[in-house]
Structure 1
Amino acid sequence: MYKIMLVDDESEVREAIRESIDWPRHGYEFVGGYANGAEALEAILDHRPDLVLSDICMPHMDGIEMTKQVAQAAPDTKVVILTGHDEFDYAQQALRLKVHDFVIKPITPRELRALLDKIKIELDREAEERDNMARLREQLQESLPLLKERFLECLVQGAIGEEEAERRFAYFGLVKPVPPLVALAVDIDQLNDGSRERWENNPELQRYAAYKIASETTEGRDALVFRTKEERVVVLLYGFPEEGGEAEISQLAESIRRSMEKYMKFTVTIGVGAPCSSLSDIPWSYEASLSALDYRFLLGNNRVIRLQDLERPSSYSCPPDYEWNRKFASALKTGTHRETHLLIEQFIGQLKSSPLPLEVCYVRIQSMMIDVVSSIHELLGESGNWLRQLGSALQHIDKFHRLEDVEAWLKNISCEAIELIADRRSDLSQLQVRSAIEYIEQHYREESLSLMDICNHVHMSKSYFSTLFKQHTGQTMMEYVTRIRLETAKTLLQANPPIKTYDIAAGVGYGDPQYFSVLFKKHVGVTPTEYRDAMAKESTA
């Protein structure tokens, strides 16, 4: 119900009006009738009525003066002036004072009820508007932290002009940062076994914890701390000393990192941008802090990364590492897990310690992945889904959070390949070695016989064939050829009639009889002539 007062110096009029209206029925509570403006003003200030019906001509304080003071002291109170025909000049003054309405006396109960109903509709509308505004103000208060964060995010992204930024700093009650300034981007690392149970099902709480730690660590410093839509925490530091300031920034970042690990039991990586000399340059510093975070892929988690420590102006190329590729292919072919893993670790270690920009590192990784899968595909053909795995890995290379993830992928795919190669190796390698031996037995008499001839025959590389041949025969290929030749020579040395030594040498693939004699003695222990004589004695004994 709305409160209503009546002011008139005639008591009969006051009583008649009061008795003629069923006030509650029309939505009002009658809180009093008063004989003059002075009494009424005091009551108005006490009761704060919604509506006052007032005569104009009254002793002590007339209705015009009372209305003037009500407008200043209780502006939400509406005043309706009751005036006679001879008070028209007063009524004009009342209009200038913006009274709500004025009514010519005498007024009938019916006219008064209609007036009250009309004003109640207005009061209802105004009350609804006040309620709506109150709700909006409440919602605004609740949204202010988020609105402030979105403003600061727009600021570091360069999406807001200086003039608008000035206005919003004032609106949110924030101190405008003064140069020098620097942006720190704090990003939560992937959960490890120690933190997964605590935080895996509470990502929102974890992000809030990161924000609180950063806020508490920077408390008392010139800093703005906020969260972005990507759920990073950004620390905007300003006003630090130019001399020694970078060391102070690094120490603060390190303090935030340690506090996260110590108190929250999860880790963060912090990218530190480059200091800048004006607020308009802060997007550049923020972008640098995000670029620094990207190097987590190379350097690992739980660390502070300063971009200026990593990227130096230079010209970088990405030449293919043929020697590494050769060694890796050889290790795959020979099925040595340890060697392939060592080569992968060597590659990853070189990337970690290199000054290469991140983009070049990605190219090196992609190139290496292609080389690895190409080697596997060359060995196994269509067996396995290597090419599909490669395509998926290259397409989603940005999903590898750290170099260790790439290392694990490469080791896993290499192990799969080696196991499959091992399953095939026994039968296949035996066939290849048997084919090589048959070729040797057919061509050992040719002086020009070489390792390359045999490898071409079995379609294998020299290094792989040499390793495989020794695994199956216990000898190198040249040792095997030498043995075959010398065994044949020993048989020929026992021939009757005797064959000349130089003819035997030529017959088993040695064009130089002297070299043949030296080689024969080295392996048999006697010269060809001594061997012939010894065999002749044995046959006649």
Structure 2
Amino acid sequence: MYKVIVADDEAVIRNRLIKHIKWAELGFVVVDSARDGEELIEKCLKHKPDLVVTDICMPGVDGIDFAEKIRKLGIKTEIIVFSGYSEFEYARRLIEFDVMAYFLKPIDMDKLCEAIKKAYDKLELRTASVAYTSLKQICDQTAENIMRDIGSGRCDRIDSYLMEFEDELTGNAMEFSEIENQYFILLNTLYRNLIELKANVGNVKNVFKGVFDDWSDIDGGDELRRYVSNLIIGIIQLMNGAEDDIADMYFNNAVKFIDEHYMEDISLKDVADYLEISGGYLSVILNDKGKAGFVKLLRYKRIDKAKEFLLNTNMKVYEIAYILNFANPRYFSEVFRAETGLNPLDYRKKFKK
């Protein structure tokens, strides 16, 4: 709910506006009212309202003076003004102080409610813009810290950067799915920054090309942070040309594990646990050395085996789908077609001798 203050020197009009407008339905709550301009300014300083609905002619400080003073005080409330006088000078000066609507008395309640709705929409856009700006600043600062360490080849502070990143996000009451989305944005920012460095560009593209395929087994914030942390550490090692022989060994052993277990329900975590390394680091190695993430490498292996079954056996499509651990025959056919351009039966007809 957005906060609103109603001001008029006539109690009858104040009460009418407060009681007869369905404020809650319009997204507002009346937090106070004022009888004159001085009281209105005082209550605006107290409540910081999102909307003020006020008469232009009140004792002490009139509506125009109020608008001018409130802007000088830096209060960004929306203002709707009504008046018993139709004077161009009033309208001109109200526009000068960013008053969003100006009505003549007697007040048309329907038109006033329309203006209140527009105020609500304007406040929603402003709120969304502030939230976006805040999140972007958090993301950009984290990326800047990480890029500085990438440049120096330093790995020991990455996890602490990400913990601070998450602390700021959870301070905004974010759910896991929203935090996960912010990690996507952070990695995309890092990708763009790394490409701009023009160093090891080919390798960086390979690493990021399929990295999001390997997120499917992540089911909690701590695990997500560890994955991203190890992913970034792997990138730092890659950028500095470190552990190339070891990376080759891990890649070859990962491919061997996939070759031996492709018919089972295996995941990136299973392979990483077998190799006794982190899933994030393994993802970097697979994307760098194999030009694809775990999910795609496993899929390539299963489709290659499916081709053998189609050409060298009389197994039915649903049997092949089952033995290769696809979710169902339809999904198997969709994946097969995406990889080969043909559905399984057409592939068999075209290539089986």
Give the shorter-chain TM-score range: 0.3 to 0.5
Q: Name the larger-Rg structure.
A: 1
* Structure of higher RCO (CA pairs closer than 8 Å, 6+ residues apart): 2
User: Structure 2 length as normaliser, TM-score?
Assistant: 0.43
User: Structure 1 length as normaliser, TM-score?
Assistant: 0.28
